[in-house]
Every structure is written in structure tokens, then in C-alpha cells.
């Protein structure tokens, strides 16, 4: 996201670069090898998902009304997912109503989340959007603690403090300097 923003003429401030470095280091620490860290292959897949989300974010920024943009993207995605899913039916071990509820809840919650994100993107530079997105691993890990009963570890707390503190420095610090 930052590279594409720079290509479009955006120039992150030294404070934003420092914040990006700090938040990135916090994410690396959170997922680095250890008892509570994910295996490297899964961490790499999360990284690829983050890159995809960044590209999706920049592609949709300023494309119109967020709900309509997200609905159109979901419709295009369904054109690929539905046929493949239908082919997989013989191997599925799920109840039909479970699949319906999972599809509806995933579509509604994801769709609303994407629409809210696109709405927020209107006021964010690519650098700030990338910086804010670095909060997702800390938020997801906290969700694991709250919703799934995962253990709060020193690594989670330290990494979350570094990630969120760095984001605050990058986003709030620039506001003070610009105002």
C-alpha cells in the first residue's frame, strides 16, 4: 500500500516511517516462532492475506458509495466461489442450514466490515491506511482471547502495546504537526 501510495505522489513523514517500522516489528514479534506463535506457513499465509487486503483497499478507495462497491465485489467473487463450492458438495460434511447461515453471516458481517473500511478510507492516505491495518493481528489475537478462551501471554501484551502504540504515534502525531 505504501509503495503504491508513493507511486501516486504520497510521501510518508519520518514519524510515519518510524510508526510503520515499530508496528511492523510488533507484528513480527507477535507471530515469531514460539510456543504461542503460529507456524511459519500459516504466518506467511496471513501476510499474503494482508497484502491482498491492502490491494483490495486501494482498488476500492474512492470508487463510489462503499456499500455498492462492496456488493459489486461480492457478486463478482460469488461468480467464482459458487460453482467451485457446488463441485465440492460430495466432499462436504456440513448441514445445509449450517452452510446457509455461514454464508449469510459471513456475507453480512464481512460486507458491513468492508463497507465501513471503505468509508474510513476516504479520509486516510495510503500510508495511514497501511498503518491502521497493522492493528488487525493484535485485534484478532485479542478476539481469540475474548471469544475463544485463548491465553493472554506476555508476547501478546508486549506485541499489542508496540503495535497499537506505534500506530498512535504515526496517526495522532501527524495530526498535531499538521494542525
pLDDT digits (tens, 9 = 90+) for 13-53: 999 999 999 999 998 898 877 656 678 888 888 889 888 88
Residue 3 inside a domain? The answer is no
Q: Which residue has the higher pLDDT, 54 or 20?
A: 20
Give mean pLDDT, residues 79-105: 83
In this predicted structure, the answer to whether residue 157 has a pLDDT above a threshold of 90 is yes
Give mean pLDDT, residues 99-125: 81
If asked whether residues 66 and 49 sit together in one domain, one would say: no
What is the pTM assigned to this prediction? 0.71
Percent of the chain with pLDDT over 70: 94
Provide the pLDDT for residue 138. Answer: 92
Q: How many domains does the chain have?
A: 2
If asked whether residues 91 and 55 sit together in one domain, one would say: no
If asked whether residues 74 and 104 sit together in one domain, one would say: yes
If asked whether residues 50 and 84 sit together in one domain, one would say: no
Binned at pLDDT 50, 70 and 90, residue 178 comes out as: very low
Q: What is the DSSP string of the chain?
A: -HHHHHHTT----HHHHHHHHHHHHHHHHHHSSSTTSPPHHHHHHHHHHHHHHHHHHHHHTTSS-HHHHHHHHHHHHHHHHHHHHHHTGGG----HHHHHHHHHHHHHHHHHHHHHHHHHHTT--HHHHHHHHTTHHHHHHHHHHHHH-PPP-HHHHHHHHHHHHHHHHHHHHHHHHH-
Question: What mean pLDDT is reported for the chain?
Answer: 84
Q: Which residue has the higher pLDDT, 105 or 129?
A: 129
What is the domain extent for residue 99?
62-121
Residue 128 inside a domain? The answer is no
Give mean pLDDT, residues 159-166: 96
Residue 116 inside a domain? The answer is yes
Amino acid at each position: 500500500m505504501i509503495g503504491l501510495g508513493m507511486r501516486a505522489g504520497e510521501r510518508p513523514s519520518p514519524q510515519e516511517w518510524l510508526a510503520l517500522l515499530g508496528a511492523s516489528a510488533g507484528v513480527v514479534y507477535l507471530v515469531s516462532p514460539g510456543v504461542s506463535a503460529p507456524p511459519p506457513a500459516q504466518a506467511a499465509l496471513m501476510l499474503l492475506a494482508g497484502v491482498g487486503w491492502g490491494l483490495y483497499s486501494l482498488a476500492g478507495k474512492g470508487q463510489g458509495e462503499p456499500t455498492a462497491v462492496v456488493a459489486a465485489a461480492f457478486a463478482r467473487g460469488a461468480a467464482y466461489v459458487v460453482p467451485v463450492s457446488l463441485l465440492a458438495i460430495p466432499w462436504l460434511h456440513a448441514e445445509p442450514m449450517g452452510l446457509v447461515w455461514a454464508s449469510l453471516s459471513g456475507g453480512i458481517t464481512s460486507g458491513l466490515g468492508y463497507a465501513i473500511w471503505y468509508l474510513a478510507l476516504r479520509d486516510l492516505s495510503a500510508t495511514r491506511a497501511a498503518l491502521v491495518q497493522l492493528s488487525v493481528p493484535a485485534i484478532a489475537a485479542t478476539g481469540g482471547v475474548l471469544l475463544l478462551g485463548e491465553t493472554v501471554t506476555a508476547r501478546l501484551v508486549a506485541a499489542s502495546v508496540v503495535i497499537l502504540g506505534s500506530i498512535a504515534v504515526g496517526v495522532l502525531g501527524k495530526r498535531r504537526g499538521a494542525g
